[in-house]
Amino acid sequence: MQQIIDEDNAKPYYIPHHCIYKPEKTTTPLRVVFDASAKTSAGQSLNSILLHGASIRDDLFSLVTRFRTHKYAFNADIQKKYRQILVEPSRRDLQRIVWKETHNSLIKIYPLNTVIYVMVSVPFLAMRVLKALADAEHEYFSEAAKIISRDMHDILSGATSLTLEKKLQVDISELLRRGAFELHKWVSHHPALLNDIFTPEYSFEDMQSNTVKALEML
């Protein structure tokens, strides 16, 4: 982020924010929470003027049904997905924050450069970016591109053999890296699918004895 020093006829929106600390969370114990529904003195919020965007992914029933057909299956999540999606610079004044280093410091103003998860348009924007990336890389990773376009919320997919499954893991990871996305929280019912993946969040023993969520469900 770059501090705003001089105003340039902008019509900004300032997003309230605070932190939440949950030490039991292994990946993000400290999280920043924004409120894009906070109303201005004019009675409008950022969320009230944003378009939601269309649904461009399969419905939940189709995703789960397709997942259950795989002999070998895995699940993974994109790490800090929204932090990798840049906002058009001319629109960043609509997501400003104020900040003070200490209690006695002067207030500083910053525009957020990336999308934030509390905006109503973010689910569409994230899916649209991933679909555009999959389309751009389809020539090199045809099957991985198909999965990202079709099964992307979490990566929830599989194959008929371990060989095909491991190739999918490599290709999906490489395709997403070309868009600066990194996968983590890999989960599978078969230990061989996790042998070459560093997965600090879970061990295979954890998966045997506990329930792991996918698509925010059990």
Q: At what angle are helices 142-151 and 162-177 packed, to 10 degrees?
A: 80
pTM: 0.78
Q: In this predicted structure, what is the pLDDT of residue 187?
A: 83
Residue showing tokens 């929470």: 33
Contacts of 158 (CB under 8 A, 6+ apart): 67, 69, 70, 71, 72, 73, 74, 165
- DSSP-assigned letter for residue 139: T
Q: In this predicted structure, what is the pLDDT of residue 199?
A: 54
16 contacts 99 by C-beta, under 8 angstroms: no
66 contacts 205 by C-beta, under 8 angstroms: no
State the 10-residue block means of pLDDT for the chain, 218 residues long: 78 91 83 92 92 76 72 85 92 92 90 92 91 95 89 74 87 94 84 68 48 53
Q: In this predicted structure, what is the pLDDT of residue 120?
A: 93
Q: In this predicted structure, what is the pLDDT of residue 218?
A: 45
Q: In this predicted structure, what is the pLDDT of residue 179?
A: 94
Of 159, 153, 133, 139, nearest to 67 by C-alpha is 159
Contacts of 88 (CB under 8 A, 6+ apart): none
State the first-to-last Cα distance of the chain, in angstroms, to the nearest integer. Answer: 37
21 contacts 28 by C-beta, under 8 angstroms: no
Q: In this predicted structure, what is the pLDDT of residue 58?
A: 65
Q: In this predicted structure, what is the pLDDT of residue 47?
A: 94
